C-alpha cells in the first residue's frame, strides 16, 4: 500500500436505497409527515398543518395555501435517501466525501427539527403517561456532542486522511472511536426514552413523526459510525501500526459497546 494513498481498500460508495416511500399529492399530509422523516420541516416552513390538519391530502392542503402541490412533492422527494454502501477500489477521499454529504450534512438537518418536535410533544402531551419526558434535552445534548465530533473530524482528522495519514494517525482515530462509543450510549438513551421509537396508540401526527424521525436518525448514525470504524479507519491504523511494528489488526472495531454494533 502506498504510504501517501491508502486507496485500495473496500469502499466508497454507491447509494443503495431501500424501497422509497411512494410520494403522491393525493396522500394525506399527516401520513407523509409520519412516513417521510424531514417532511415536517418542509410543511412547517410552508405553513402546512400536518398535525391537527393531517387528515386532508397534500394537494388539498397546498391548494389552501396557494401552493403548487407538484413543487411541494418535488421538494419532499429530495428527502428520500438511500443507504450508502461501499464499493471496492475507491479512495479514502471518495469515502470521506460520502460521509460528509450523506451523514454529516444530514445529521445537521435532522436534529434541530427533532428537537423542535420533541419540545412540542413534551409540552402538549405533558399529562400523557407515555410522554417522553426529557427527550428534547437528550436530543439537544446529542446534537451538541455530534456537532463537536463532526467538527473535529472535518478540521483535523479528515484532512490528515486525505493527505495519506502519518505514523501517528492512530491517536486522533482512537479519540474518534471513543466518541463513537459515546454516541452509541446516546442512542441507547433515545431508544429508552421512546420505548424503541414506538408511539402510543393515541399519539398525534407530530408525536408519530417525531419517533419516525428519531428512528431514521438512529439508523443513519449507526451506518455512519460503521463506515468510519470498519471501512475508513482500519487501513490507516494498519499503516500506522506497521510503521511502529504493531499488529495490523490491533485497532479493529470490536467493542460490543461501539456505536456501530
pLDDT digits (tens, 9 = 90+) for 27-63: 999 989 988 888 998 998 999 999 888 889 999 999 9
Same domain membership, residue 158 and residue 56: no
Question: CA separation (Å) from 59 to 5, 63, 65, 228?
Answer: 52, 6, 10, 41
Per the domain annotation, does 248 fall within a domain? yes
Same domain membership, residue 200 and residue 174: yes
State how many domains the chain has: 2
C-alpha cell at 212: 419516525
Same domain membership, residue 122 and residue 66: no
Cα torsion at 250, 253, 254, 260 (round to 10°)? 180
Instruction: Note the pLDDT tens digit of each residue in 83-134.
Output: 555 555 678 999 999 999 999 999 999 999 999 999 999 999 999 999 999 9
Same domain membership, residue 133 and residue 38: no
Per the domain annotation, does 203 fall within a domain? yes
- Residue 184 reports pLDDT greater than 80: yes
Contacts 24+ apart (CB under 8 A), 42-49: 42/72, 42/75, 42/76, 42/79, 46/72, 48/72
Note the residue count of the chain. Answer: 261
CB-based contact 165:93 (threshold 8 Å): no
More confident residue, 150 or 3: 150
Per the domain annotation, does 222 fall within a domain? yes
Same domain membership, residue 5 and residue 125: yes
- Residue 14 reports pLDDT greater than 50: no
Same domain membership, residue 246 and residue 221: yes
Same domain membership, residue 36 and residue 9: no
pLDDT at 37: 85
Question: CA separation (Å) from 53 to 58, 61, 115, 204?
Answer: 10, 8, 21, 11
Structural domain that includes position 189: 1-16+90-261
Parallel/antiparallel/unpaired status of strands 83-86 and 13-16: antiparallel
Same domain membership, residue 244 and residue 212: yes
Same domain membership, residue 22 and residue 10: no
Same domain membership, residue 223 and residue 139: yes
More confident residue, 261 or 102: 102
Per the domain annotation, does 85 fall within a domain? no
Q: What is the mean pLDDT of residues 236-251?
A: 68
Mean pLDDT score of the chain:
85
- Residue 161 reports pLDDT greater than 60: yes
Same domain membership, residue 64 and residue 104: no
Same domain membership, residue 121 and residue 35: no
Amino acid at each position: 500500500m502506498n504510504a501517501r494513498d491508502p486507496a485500495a481498500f473496500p469502499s466508497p460508495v454507491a447509494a443503495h436505497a431501500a424501497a422509497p416511500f411512494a410520494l403522491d399529492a393525493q396522500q394525506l399530509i399527516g401520513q407523509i409527515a409520519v412516513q417521510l422523516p424531514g417532511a415536517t420541516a418542509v410543511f412547517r416552513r410552508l405553513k402546512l398543518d400536518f398535525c391537527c390538519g393531517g387528515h386532508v391530502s397534500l394537494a388539498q392542503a397546498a391548494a389552501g395555501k396557494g401552493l403548487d402541490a407538484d413543487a411541494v412533492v418535488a421538494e419532499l422527494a429530495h428527502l428520500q435517501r438511500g443507504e450508502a454502501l461501499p464499493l471496492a477500489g475507491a479512495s479514502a477521499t471518495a469515502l470521506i466525501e460520502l460521509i460528509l454529504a450523506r451523514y454529516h450534512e444530514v445529521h445537521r438537518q435532522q436534529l434541530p427539527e427533532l428537537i423542535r418536535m420533541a419540545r412540542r410533544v413534551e409540552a402538549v402531551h405533558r399529562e400523557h403517561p407515555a410522554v417522553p419526558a426529557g427527550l428534547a434535552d437528550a436530543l439537544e445534548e446529542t446534537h451538541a456532542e455530534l456537532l463537536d465530533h463532526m467538527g473535529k473530524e472535518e478540521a483535523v482528522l479528515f484532512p490528515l486522511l486525505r493527505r495519506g495519514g502519518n505514523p501517528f494517525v492512530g491517536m486522533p482515530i482512537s479519540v474518534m472511536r471513543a466518541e463513537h462509543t459515546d454516541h452509541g450510549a446516546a442512542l441507547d438513551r433515545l431508544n429508552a426514552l421512546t420505548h424503541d421509537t414506538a408511539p402510543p396508540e393515541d399519539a398525534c401526527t407530530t408525536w408519530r413523526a417525531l419517533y419516525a424521525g428519531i428512528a431514521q436518525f438512529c439508523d443513519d448514525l449507526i451506518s455512519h459510525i460503521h463506515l468510519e470504524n470498519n471501512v475508513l479507519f482500519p487501513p490507516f491504523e494498519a499503516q500506522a501500526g506497521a510503521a511502529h511494528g504493531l499488529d495490523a489488526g490491533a485497532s479493529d472495531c470490536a467493542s460490543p459497546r461501539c456505536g456501530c454494533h
